[in-house]
Chain A
Amino acid sequence: MAVLPKVQPKVWLERLRARPAEAQAKAAPVGGLAAVVRKEFADHVNSWRMVILVLLLLVTGIASLYTAAQTIRSVVEATAATPDFVFLRLFTGGSSRLPSLTAFVSFLAPLLGIALGFDAICGEHSRRTLSRVLAQPIHRDAVINGKFLAGLLAIVVTLTALLLGVGALGLIMIGVPPTGDEALRLVAYGVLTTVYVAFWLSLAILFSVVFRQAATSALASIAVWLFFSVFWDMIVGVAAGDDPVGLGLWLSRVSPGYLYTEAMVTLLNPIVRSLGPVTLEQVLGALEGVLPVGQSIALIWPQAMGLVALTAVCFAASYILFMRREIRA
């Protein structure tokens, strides 16, 4: 498996790169970041864990797409009318036997992020490559930035491929093209999911800086994921007690998974118009209707920013820890 590209860049590209020696020497630190990104991305693409996860996503994606298409067809046959936002239903529609594509994605997304990041730094430590790489003329943060960016790139590529592939297959199956509104919602969904996976990636990188063993780091990330996906709901249920919509909702929103689900549901279901508790007075006299995509995005803006902030905090913590870390084993 060739990891570093063997193809020679085109001549004009080479000419573009051909700079005086001094300029090149000065540019080396930036080149260092690019080199780390390229190498790490190549590693991701070639790694078995990435292949396994992408295959898993593809299989579940196609399966849930198929059931969604079946459900839509039966609805259309029964009512003889095309339901609203039928293209979005390809992604959100499940059946009693198989959950929807979005449900699969929200389940597998943390795993993807963790798989991409859990051995980022401790792996270099245990392979004893870190001191050798850091002795090259690059800034120390090029290593951790490069690893994060390469992970992010892998996420973007995977999710884009998944959404486009499923969209194309769906188009063949139901033959209804997405409206502009739907397309924008799907793009926003892709961005949101990228941020969500990036959060788990940065959490995994943080643990890979904190722990020396890759296995410990992976376990710590998975423990956090399990805690929020299984136990947090129970804890919230007990803690909120008789105030499930007030305190309970706010406690739930501590979990990044809950933030993501709220935002994802709002984006892909234009009927969702509010995410907080709604009083009877507000509902009374309200007109039935759907939100335009801009309003849906405005509604989930706090959730999306919360996820971005969590990602930034985790990455900042791992950055600081890594920069202060002694290189000696």
Chain B
Amino acid sequence: MAETVIETCGLVKRYGDFTAVYGLDLEVRAGEVFGLLGPNGAGKTTTILMLLGLTEPTDGWIRVLGHDPVRDPIAVKRLTGYLPDNVGFYDELTGRQNLFYTAELNGIPRREAAPEIDRLLTRVGLADAADTRVGAYSRGMRQRLGVADVLLKRPRVVIMDEPTLGLDPEGARTFLRLIRQLADEGMTVLLSSHLLHQVQAVCDRVGIFVKGQMIACGPVDELAEQALAGEPLRLELELAPCTEELLSALERLEGLVEVHRRDGPAGTAPGDFARGAAASRSGESLRLELVCRRDVRAEVSRLAASHGAAVLHLSQAGRSLDDIYRRYFADGGETGGGTSEGAA
């Protein structure tokens, strides 16, 4: 098992009466991309600031690469790069000058910094804009300059707070690819986000954060199984033609809970499949959603074949992070306390 890079134990942060983070146990291993996932105000940024020693925890302890950010923030900050949410630069300086300032703050001699800055600016695609004032940069360019700024100190851990927020889809995709590259180069990346699909695309493991507590933690697939263990399976199905007999046969399948007809733009009109069957007498194709307790895909296709219908589409739906997210956040408030202890 890989070395633990970030470890917290019973981390608590209170602002007066408000508890921003409560009893957080986090473990991030070397070389992985870890996603802190949660709605706004869940305590993600507070956690990140505590990891960097920019805010003191009320209780609990933290180790980042073996250093305690409360006692020795300089050691942590030397090894850790931080890309804040909506990163800011000095508008009146050029991109290159901003990076030189960072290099100077890190004690990197100018002679060593200059080629490194050139290399990083090229890597993030800002070589042409290097000598333009940052004031004229677009948001995506600032964000990429932020990455160059973070990488300049050659960190072992990179912490990013909502890195793709406000980027256009193409910019976000490029950005995520860059994050993946960093991890492949052996860097450990911790990123926070409330954008599920991006987290799913890039993270090895995620921790789901609700109201200051991490209510689940693990690889996305595992979380899905955990979260949706009791949930019925949903199958999307398209049959042509779909006869009434076939529908009733489907309904009689063992383990089937419900059949929804998904037709027209409204999509998920629940219940009452009989009406749907009546409408499909013409022999046109019909889209259905099957809610079942077990995987009945094989039976469905066999049944369709025996009724002379073609299966145009058959897929398992609803195991994405969206469902996990919805499931956790919908009842996160009530079950939060219980599951966090389970996760711990």
Contacts and interface: CB of A to CB of B under 8 A. Distances in A.
A129 B45 CA distance: 16
Contact of B74 (A36, A132, A137): A137
B40 interface: no
B78 A129 contact: no
Interface residues of B, number: 37
A8 B110 CA distance: 8
A62 B201 CA distance: 68
B93 A3 contact: yes
B107 A132 contact: no
A326 interface: yes
A136 B78 CA distance: 7
Q: Is the interface of A mostly helix, strand, loop or mixed?
A: helix
A138 B101 CA distance: 12
Contacts of A10: none
Given A4-B100, A131-B82, A328 B55 contact: yes
Contacts of B77: 135-138
Contacts of A24: 107
Contacts of A328: 45-46, 49, 55
A269 to B, nearest CB: 44
A31 interface: yes
A257 interface: no
B88 A128 contact: yes
B74 A29 contact: yes
A32 interface: yes
Interface in B105-134: 105-107, 109-111
B86 A25 contact: no
A327 B49 contact: yes
A39 B100 CA distance: 10
Contacts of A4: 93, 97, 100-101, 104
B57 to A, nearest CB: 13
A129 B110 contact: no
A28 B87 contact: no
Which has the most chain B C-beta neighbours within 10 Å: A36, A46, A127? A127
A28 B67 CA distance: 17
B200 interface: no
B254 to A, nearest CB: 55
Contact of A127 (B82, B88, B107): B88
Given A129-B89, A131-B82, A136-B102, A27 B107 contact: yes
Contact of B109 (A3, A17, A136): A17
B91 interface: yes
Interface string A129-147: 1111111111100000000
Nearest to B82: A135
A14 interface: yes
Contact of A129 (B74, B88, B97): B88
A38 B104 CA distance: 10
B54 interface: yes
Q: Is the interface of B mostly helix, strand, loop or mixed?
A: mixed
Given A127-B90, A327-B54, A328-B46, A132 B78 contact: no
B52 interface: yes
Which has the most chain A C-beta neighbours within 10 Å: B55, B87, B110? B110
B82 A129 contact: no
A249 interface: no
Contacts of B55: 326-328
Nearest to A2: B97
B318 interface: no
B52 to A, nearest CB: 6
B153 interface: yes
A32 B84 CA distance: 20
Nearest to A30: B107
B149 interface: yes
Interface in B66-91: 74-75, 77-78, 80-82, 84, 86-91
A35 interface: yes
Contacts of B105: 31-32, 35-36, 133, 136-138
A25 B146 CA distance: 23
Contacts of B74: 28-29, 137-139
Contacts of B104: 4, 31, 35, 38-39
A46 B149 CA distance: 24
Which has the most chain B C-beta neighbours within 10 Å: A43, A134, A136, A139? A136
Given A8-B110, A127-B90, A327-B54, A137 B101 contact: no
Which has the most chain A C-beta neighbours within 10 Å: B80, B82, B91? B82
Nearest to B105: A136
Contacts of B101: 4, 35, 39
B107 A31 contact: yes
A315 B300 CA distance: 77
29 contacts: A4-B93, A4-B97, A8-B111, A18-B109, A24-B107, A25-B107, A27-B107, A28-B106, A28-B107, A31-B104, A39-B104, A43-B90, A43-B92, A127-B89, A127-B91, A129-B90, A130-B88, A131-B82, A132-B87, A132-B88, A132-B146, A135-B54, A135-B77, A135-B82, A136-B102, A136-B153, A138-B74, A327-B49, A328-B49
Interface of B: 15, 45-46, 49, 52, 54-55, 74-75, 77-78, 80-82, 84, 86-93, 97, 100-102, 104-107, 109-111, 146, 149, 153
Interface of A: 2-4, 8-9, 14, 17-18, 24-25, 27-29, 31-32, 35-36, 38-39, 43, 46, 127-139, 326-328
